[in-house]
A and B are shown apart, each in its own frame.
Chain A
Amino acid sequence: MSEALVTAAPARRPIGAARFLRRNARIAIGGGIVLLMIVLAAAAPLVAGDPNSMNPMIRLEAPSAQYWFGTDNLGRDVFARTLYGGQVSLAIGFSVAILAVAGGILIGLLAGYYRRVDALVMRVMDGLMAIPAILLAIALVALTSGGIVIVVIAILLPELPREVRLVRAIVLSAREQPFVEAAIAGGARTRKILIRHILPSTFAPLTVQGTYVCASSILVEAALSFLGAGVPPSIPTWGNMIASSQLYLGLAPWTIFFPGVALAVLVLAVNLLGDGLRDWLDPRLSRRQ
């Protein structure tokens, strides 16, 4: 553990990449798996066939040399569908994480600095937090014609309050710091204080938080696809692969096993990466956890 504490100041004392990864095994393993999955998902058109091509002659075939992950009830290649499904999970996970962090910075900075909007914004955030993500998404999908944008919004809205609270808490404590007081006394404008002096201290915690948001967004997207309230069923996702194969669980468990394992491994890897980043960026916190 004391080793890890030393690496807490990597910016000042650069160390080799290999040594960094050895000391931060969780970043190495989690990040490595995430990277591998990104490469696999991106390479799907090169290494796998058409995920939607049906062939009634090869329904529910067990994994073989030709069909590595077997085929599903419509004779579709589970390997191809698993790779393409990864594209959706990764795209939604990362876009929700980026939007949540950006939204959190914007709203959190304003709420933390302008006391007048603070109470209102925070109550609205409390209200948003109370609505279960999955039900919000179900409602949005039932009301609109669905689609990826709606799914991203539905996952984003209940995630946002956590980022806003985090940024706001940092702003509130930064406001009391001598360097901010000095900037105010020096006549710096509010916008400059917020961006130049307060914003940088949110980067480390937001990086960690953003990673966790990514993991939980991937889980919610999969659940929504599974319930039939996610992206359109014509796009293969891990969630809708499992939903469409549920009747064949006893007959062809591989149709559920492979997307299920892919999902669990990806989320585990992202969470691991988050834990590793937290240990690296905030050693004070890691000792407690």
Chain B
Amino acid sequence: MAAYIVRRLLSTVLVMVLVGVFVFLLLHIAPGDPAAIIAGNNATPAEITAIRHELGLSDPLTVQFARWFWDLLHGNFGISIFSDTPVITLIGQRLPATLSLTALTIGFAVILAVAAGVVAAWKAGGLLDGLLMGFAALGFSTPVFVVGYFLIYLFAIRLHWLPVEGYVPLREGAWPWLSHLILPAIALGLAYVALIARITRASMLEVLAEDYIRTARAKGASNSSVLFRHALKNAGVPIVTVIGIGVALLISGVVVTETVFNIPGVGRLAVDAITNRDYPIIQGVMVIFSGAYVVINLLVDLSYALIDPRVRY
């Protein structure tokens, strides 16, 4: 067990270093002179040289990488070109909104998806199963921004139930905070719900065909006891795996959702940086989001033993 954890941690570190290499190399293998592109069309040669110097582009590649990675490890993500503020400060300011949105989304999505998947497996082949899986197929195919504008049109513009856009910090009240996040969380979570529900159903169907489920039914266990205590527990590993892998879907979705609903989060920070070609910001956001994905999947891997005592590493 301990050996497995150490091995898994080492491979996580390795993947993070590789992500660092990619993010770093991107700036250097991209065609054209990044300094000139970042400086914009009207830049003078002196300005371009200044930016090249600022990004350290005139040093050897290995030196640049070592310096960049060393800074990264110390939480120094560079300075935003446009606003002259450390990138880590900008990301820090935007983090509460993004964390609120993603935590809420993951919370509601996992509960809803697992419930829907269990019900669909229980009623497999029936009308309810067909409806749930049809809905899942639709949810998986509709892009976040289309769902988002549909929700805004219906619940904010037509019905006036919820605000159109924006974000209110939690300290200004629980309802204002929540009401601004309900529509974004649904738009962001739909594809995630669809993904998890489909895997839950598939995994449940496999377990429900096992002998011990028949035994449980034979000894008179109630339906809910069979589904949740006997079946769901044993169907858990693939479900948790997909919850982890699906985070990639969420991360790309966050960037779009924050744009649709005008939420000042980390994803929006990256989108706004496109127009200014503020590359240090984009680099920083890539590292943060990739890191989140890798760490969450590490936790998922380590959780297998908790879910299923049969798992021995």
Interface residues of A (CB under 8 A from B): 123-124, 126-136, 138-145, 215, 219-220, 222-223, 226-229, 239, 242, 246, 249-250, 253, 256, 260-261, 263-264, 267-268, 271-272, 275, 288-289
Interface residues of B, count at CB 8 A = 58
User: A143 near B146 (CB under 8 angstroms)?
Assistant: no
Report chain A residues within 8 Å CB of B252.
132-135, 220, 223
Q: Knowing A131-B290, A132-B289, A220-B252 are in contact, say whether A142-B277 is a contact too (CB < 8 A).
A: yes
CA distance A215 to B66 in the complex (A): 39
Majority DSSP secondary structure for residues of B touching A: helix
Give 17 pairs: A residue, B residue, CB < 8 Å, sorted on A. A126-B11, A127-B21, A130-B19, A130-B294, A131-B22, A132-B248, A132-B290, A132-B293, A135-B289, A136-B286, A227-B256, A227-B259, A239-B145, A264-B138, A264-B142, A267-B141, A288-B206
How close is B34's CB to chain A, nearest CB, in angstroms?
5
- Residues of A near B192 (CB, < 8 A) are none
Chain B residue nearest to A267 in the complex (CB): B141
B residues near A133, Cβ cutoff 8 Å: 248, 252
Instruction: Annotate B253-294 by CB proximity to A: 1 below 8 A, 0 otherwise.
Output: 001100110000000001101110111001101100110011
Say how far A61's CB is from chain B's closest CB, in angstroms: 18
Whether B23 and A131, one on each chain, are in contact in the complex, defined by CB atoms closer than 8 angstroms, is yes
CB distance from A226 to the nearest CB of B (A): 5
Q: Which of A136, A142, A261, A264 contacts B273 (CB 8 A)?
A: A142
Q: Which of A138, A219, A289 contacts B282 (CB 8 A)?
A: A138
Which residue from chain B places its CB closest to the CB of A128 in the assembled complex? B22
Query: Which one, A123, A134, A222, contacts B15 given CB within 8 A?
Result: A123
State the Cβ distance, A232 to closest chain B Cβ, in Å: 13
Known: A123-B18, A242-B145, A268-B142. 20 other contacts (CB 8 A): A123-B14, A123-B15, A130-B293, A132-B251, A132-B293, A135-B285, A138-B274, A139-B279, A139-B282, A140-B30, A144-B31, A144-B37, A223-B145, A226-B145, A249-B153, A249-B157, A256-B153, A260-B146, A263-B146, A271-B141
CB distance A227 to B271 under 8 Å?
yes
| Residue in A143, A228, A272 whose beta carbon sits within 8 Å of that of B26 in the complex | A143
Closest 10 A/B residue pairs (Cβ): A127-B18, A260-B146, A268-B141, A267-B141, A143-B30, A134-B252, A264-B142, A132-B251, A250-B157, A130-B290
Cβ-defined partner of A126 (8 Å) among B18, B255, B275, B278: B18
Q: Which residues of A contact B285 (CB under 8 A)?
A: 135
- Report the nearest A residue to B157, measured CB to CB: A250
B202 within 8 A of A: yes
CB pair B137–A135 under 8 Å, yes or no, is no
- Report Cα–Cα, A127/B14, bound state, in Å: 9
Q: In the complex the two chains form, what is the Cα distance from A133 to B290 in whole Å? A: 10
Q: Which A residues lie within 8 Å of B289 (CB)? A: 132, 135
A136 → B minimal CB distance (Å): 7
B197 at the interface (CB under 8 A from A): no
Bound Cα distance from A242 to B30, whole angstroms = 29
| CA distance in complex: A138, B27 (Å) | 12
Which residues of the other chain, B, contact A219 by a CB distance below 8 angstroms? 141, 143
A271 touches B140 (CB 8 A): yes
Q: Which of A131, A138, A253 has most chain B Cβ within 10 Å? A: A131
A264 to B140, CA, bound (A): 9
| B294 and A143 within 8 A (CB) | no
